[in-house]
Structure 1
Amino acid sequence: MKRILLGCLSLFMLATHSQASLLVTPTRAELDSSRQKSAIFSLVNKGNVTSRFNIYFQDKQQLPSGDYVSLEGKGKLSQFVRYSPRRITLEPEEGTRVRLALRLPRGTAQGEYRSYLVFSQIPLTEALDSAATENAKDLSLSISAMLRISVPVVLRVGELDSEVFIEKGDLTQGNGNVAVTLKRTGDRSSYGDIEVLRETNGEKQTVGSFKNAALYTEIEQRTFNVSLDQMIEPSDRLWVRYSENEHLPNPKVVEYALR
């Protein structure tokens, strides 16, 4: 029993201290049919073990809750993009690049297309040696946690635009959180930053924020919970501001008087 426990403890420590960590930049790629027809992802292995990754496209649909579901079938965007490499092996602190190039067929319908470039870790070797396993008399335990990162790649074909509104904002009991509902119309996605602002002597100061809020084209509205980092007094005037990402066509900035 002691040998079994020691074996389990050793494997647990190996899984705990030998970890993969992949740094991927940028966290979103944006392509269009007229100007931006390529993208480059920089990858660095920030873990302490050599790691191997498969790279492939996957389609997902956003839900109003903010969750995602995978879609089956041919990729909406991947059919228009060539990329390389498809598999990488990185030593600790080693980096590389993945390049994407747009190959858009004539007559492609105007609209926004989106897929997710996935970096999925795969084992370098078998967790246990088969010959040793056959002769082992003790219980063996293998623990593996494979890293997986998904990055959205957005393609806009034609002149696309949208409008975005702050439908409502609700300050929760205890004044520690604001629920902000954004509403989107039009033929392109919207993503940006939400700020809760306190107005004092005519000046607005940020007291809470939600970074990279996203409403993709399959949903029209979504509610975000913004945590406040300062105490709010009953007499404070509060505003909500939503600023679209500057890389979007014709980015919007909208405000809403919370109270």
Structure 2
Amino acid sequence: MLYKVVVLLALSVCILGKNAYANLLISPTRISFDERQRTAKVTVINTGNEYQTYRVLWSEKQAQPSGGYIQLAEATSESLSSMARLSPKQMRLAPGEKQTVKIAIRKPKGLASGEYRSHLLFQALPSENTNKTSSIKVNMIMSYSIPILLRKDMKQPEVAIEQAKLVLNESNQRPQFLLNIKREGKFSSYGKLSAYSVDSNNEQVKIAEIGNLSIYPEVDNAFVTLSLFSDKNLDNAGKVIFKYEGSQEYKDLTFAQYTLPLTSQLLNVLTVNDAK
């Protein structure tokens, strides 16, 4: 199968649980169908100051262990797109106007157990207001995709944080954590990964977090970088507790937990390297 690497241009700003991408507001940004659900809706809002046309289509992607995706040239046996119908597939929105895109699922008979996923791609076509006086015409097609999942005979994935290391970020010379998270089974995990520093009085303070972390079935080991909050630092010995906790369909579930001893020797090494 042929692959091509997708270069993702991140233009996102989180606003009250909704995400804005350039002049496009999408909500929700992830859909997981359960066994009985047949339809879902996604709201699209043109937040720009001119009319904009958006195309809605399916995109097939393969997740990578260190994050990001590889674009697939065609659907696979684990793709959802062949079971789904979209309406509408294109829309023209005035500034501030919104449109609902409906996703309808029709499962084939004898569908095998497992997780099926495709990504719903919202593609903003070139602006209608072209500057005719310019000698150079540049049309940028901005797009963003959200994962759509269907699970058959869902079972909780087995997840474990195998290793956590404390290192220095080469660009800003601040401490960060590198984690190896192992996942087993046919189904993906989804939730937030948090780090808490614990002092000698056993008081916990959240120092880092990544939300919306999915580890998909094609990834057995995920390598995740967890950076400290800008107002947090590691000044004293103790320990750091990592928790990978479920969200949405995995709400109130803790996938994995790991404790990293934070020794004075380790902190001194980081300080020496920082000084260099």
**What TM-score, normalized to structure 1?**
0.82
- SS across alignment from 1:181: strand
The C-alpha deviation readout for 1:57-99, integer Å capped at 9, x for no partner, is 1111111121211222346211111120000111111111101
Partner of 1:239: 241
Aligned residues of 2:46 and 2:97 also touching (Cα < 8 A): yes
Unaligned 5+ segments in structure 2 are 1-20, 262-276
Offset of residue 159 of structure 1: 3.0
Report if the CA contact (8 A) 1:20-1:49 is conserved: no
Letter in 2 for 1:150: S
Aligned to 1:86: 89
Equivalent AA in structure 2 for residue 47 of structure 1: G
Distance 2:48 2:195 in 1: 36
Larger Rg: 1
- Structure 1 residues 214-233: aligned runs within 5 Å: 214-229=214-229, 230-233=232-235
Distance 1:168 1:196 in 2: 13
1:153 to 148, 151, 154: 148
1:109 aligns with 2:104: no
Cα deviation, residue 190, structure 1: 1.1
State the match for 1:257 in structure 2: 259
Higher RCO (C-alpha under 8 Å, 6+ residues apart)? 1
Q: Which moved more, 1:214-223 or 1:236-245?
A: 236-245
Count of residues paired in the alignment: 232
80-89 vs 118-127, which moves further = 118-127
In the aligned structure 2, how far is the partner of 1:249 from the partner of 1:203? 25
Please name the residue that 2:265 is paired with. Answer: none
Structure 1 residues without counterparts, runs of 5 or longer: 1-18, 133-138
Query: Quick one: distance in 2 between partners of 1:224 and 1:71?
Result: 23
Q: Which amino acid aligns with 1:151?
A: I
Cα deviation, 1:202-256, whole Å, max 9, x if unaligned, reads 2321011111222110011111111112111241321111112231399434211
Amino acid at match of 2:235: E
Distance 2:152 2:239 in 1: 42
What is the percent sequence identity of the aligned residues? 30
CA contact (8 A) 1:20 1:45 kept: no
Which residue of structure 2 aligns with residue 5 of structure 1? none
- Residue 137 of structure 2: which of 142, 150, 154 is its match? 142
Q: Report the AA paired with residue 153 of structure 2.
A: G
Cα displacement (A) at 1:175: 5.7
Which residue, 145, 151, 166 being the options, matches 1:171?
A: 166
Q: Deviations over 1:138-165 (max 9, x none)?
A: x701123221010100110123221100
Q: 1:31 aligns with which of 10, 29, 33?
A: 33
1 CA distance for matches of 2:164 and 2:60? Answer: 32
Q: CA deviation at 1:125?
A: 4.3
TM-score where L is the length of structure 2: 0.78
DSSP-derived class of the 2:82 partner: helix
C-alpha distance 63-82 of structure 1, shift in aligned 2 (>3 A): same
